[in-house]
Amino acid sequence: MTASALVGYARTSTTDQKAGLEAQLRDLELAGCTKVFREEISSVATNRPQLAAVLEWVREGDTLVVTKLDRLARSVADLVAITAALKAKGAGLRILAMNLDTATPTGKLMLNLLGSIAEFERELMLERQREGIAKAKADGKYVGRQPTARRQAGEALRLRAEGKSPADIMASLGISRASFYRIVRSSHQG
């Protein structure tokens, strides 16, 4: 078994922020990081390749180190997802500016509090969404999303009768294999 490592992750939003990146790299080195992943990309980017790489690279017993929380996660929910990935691998997280380390009981408590707040926010949002839908239904303004495949059942059956292959039908109508065969089954039952 290999020894545990401190693994750093540094990120700046743009290439213009060289000083910020250099400061992060310096702080991560001073914290004892033996390997550092870095990228110059906005936190709102859906694909952060170096973050994905560091999450893949860390091993059991390792600790991911970042200088500040906003360098790692774009939201509390994002932080919860990242820490869940680390926990699944048996790795910890240390945020230098917050003096938060998930290897300590206080660090775990803080992280759990952040996760609970994120879950609470999500539940409130879903509750408001359900209330809005109920009001719209009561006002006769909400009909819901129509199932895509069922709307195209007639077209799918017509193409099948013309001898088109199931793959061609699914591709041309943009429906899944399961939806296509559900349409076929229901046409035999009806």
SS (HEC) of the chain = CCCCCEEEEEEECCCCCHHHHHHHHHHHHHCCCCEEEEEECCCCCCCCHHHHHHHHHCCCCCEEEECCHHHHCCCHHHHHHHHHHHHHCCCEEEEHHHCEECCCHHHHHHHHHHHHHHHHHHHHHHHHHHHHHHHHHHCCCCCCCCCHHHHCHHHHHHHHHCCCCHHHHHHHHCCCHHHHHHHHHHHHHC
Q: Catalytic site residue 13?
A: yes
CA nearest to 113, candidates 127, 126, 98: 98
The single residue of 13, 43, 165, 176 carrying the catalytic annotation is: 13
Q: Catalytic amino acids? A: 13
